[in-house]
Amino acid sequence: MSYQNELYQQVILDHNKNPRNFREIEGSAHHCLGHNPLCGDKIAVFLDLDDVGVIQDISFNGSGCAISKASASLMTSFLKGKSVDEARVIFTQFHKMILGELDPEKDENLLGKLKIFVGVRDFPSRTKCATIAWHTLKCALDKEGEVVTD
């Protein structure tokens, strides 16, 4: 097993077992429920923004596989303190990386430690697992209420 694959597995297991920001932000103005009916993943994302659009607090709860939970945990940790505009750019870059449209080692990006998910693109059946929290984030930013992937 390569170092990259081993690191990926360790990060996924750690964030699945000990998810960061796994809670509901009571009274958050921005929240959304994401659901993947094919696998049963359900993730809710909660955001508190300041007056200039910076993410002051971000959290999630719900249930899902190790990849969806780890992705949500890393996403919330990474986006805290970022602006809404930055979060949207990072969403787009993460999504493109997962689909194989962005090479995080060659293309300019803001992904930082989120690059660990690059290997998911080799398993097309797991892309929705890695991206459900991200689509739910976008829904919360847009105040749309619910997103369903299928």
Q: What is the pLDDT of residues 50-68, one digit of tens each?
A: 999 999 999 999 999 999 9
Q: What is the pLDDT of residues 128-146, one digit of tens each?
A: 999 999 999 999 999 877 8
- Per-residue pLDDT for 89 more than 60? yes
Share of the chain above pLDDT 90, in %: 79
Across the beta sheet with 55-63, what order do the strands follow?
55-63, 41-49, 30-36, 146-148
Give me the domains of the chain, ranges plus CATH numbers.
Answer: 3-148 (3.90.1010.10)
Q: Are 90 and 37 in contact (CB under 8 A)?
A: no
Interatomic CA distance for residues 91 and 137, integer angstroms: 8
Interatomic CA distance for residues 85 and 83, integer angstroms: 5
58 beta partners? 47
Considering the entire predicted model, what is its pTM? 0.93
Tokens of 28: 């958050």
- pLDDT, average across residues 60-89: 97
